[in-house]
């Protein structure tokens, strides 16, 4: 019997960024503490993360749970802020400059492209914008039943908007299912 390839993959630079952030914020042993809180097979997969290697999304999921448990005390606001900080750290300096020079509406319309840079698989991201409101429809991604993934997306959006608009958005999850989610995002002030 052969094992099929995972359908959803995430790029190793996500794990490299987490390691860098944890060491900066919590000291040299922090990444090891994170790995200790993950299932052994998942921890082994990303013990020495490389930016260009693709990993199963399930490994990312267990890392998010370990991050929430060990470093955020299962506090949704601390977790969302940690994800926002990780997002900001993970955006390459050149890309950050481009995001800062672009309108927030333009940046949000590029979310499907940003998703494809760090993920592989059949997931979809659709953007609808009108008068200061952005609706983001995520689909075909079987991790949205996990509350941490929903909070993760809000943290990622917060980080992206913080870079492009200089403010945190009001982002709410309007509806979700096991493989889909609708987020509405508004800004109080836009550049």
pLDDT in the model for residue 5 = 63
Tens of pLDDT along the chain (191 residues) come to 345 567 899 999 999 999 999 999 999 999 999 999 999 999 999 999 999 999 999 999 999 999 999 999 999 999 999 999 999 999 876 687 777 888 889 999 999 998 999 999 999 999 999 988 999 999 999 999 999 999 999 999 999 999 999 999 999 999 999 999 999 999 875 44
CA 66 to chain CA centroid, nearest Å: 15
CA separation for the pair 142, 139 (Å, rounded): 8
Question: Is 0.85 topped by the overall pTM?
Answer: yes
pLDDT in the model for residue 93 = 62
Q: Which domains does the chain have, with CATH numbers?
A: 9-71 (no CATH), 100-186 (3.30.70)
Closest alpha carbon to 34 in 6, 72, 78, 83: 72
CA separation for the pair 181, 187 (Å, rounded): 20
pLDDT in the model for residue 4 = 57
Closest alpha carbon to 155 in 7, 34, 17: 17
pLDDT in the model for residue 190 = 47
pLDDT in the model for residue 173 = 98
């Amino acid at each position: 019997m052969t094992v099929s390839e995972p359908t959803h993959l995430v790029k190793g630079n996500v794990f490299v960024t987490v390691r860098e952030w944890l060491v900066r914020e919590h000291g040299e042993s922090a990444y090891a503490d994170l790995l200790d809180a993950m299932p052994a097979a998942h921890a082994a997969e990303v013990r020495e993360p490389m930016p260009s290697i693709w990993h199963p999304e399930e490994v990312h999921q267990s890392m998010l749970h370990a991050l929430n448990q060990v470093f955020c005390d299962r506090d949704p606001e601390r977790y969302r802020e940690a994800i926002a900080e990780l997002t900001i750290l993970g955006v390459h300096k050149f890309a950050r400059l481009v995001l800062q020079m672009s309108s927030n509406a333009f940046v949000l319309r590029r979310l499907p492209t940003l998703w494809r840079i760090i993920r592989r698989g059949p997931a979809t991201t659709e953007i609808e914008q009108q008068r200061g409101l952005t609706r983001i429809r995520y689909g075909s991604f079987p991790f949205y039943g996990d509350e941490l993934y929903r909070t993760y997306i809000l943290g990622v959006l917060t980080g992206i908007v913080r870079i492009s608009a200089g403010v945190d958005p009001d982002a709410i999850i309007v509806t979700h299912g096991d493989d889909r989610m609708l987020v509405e995002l508004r800004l109080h002030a836009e550049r």
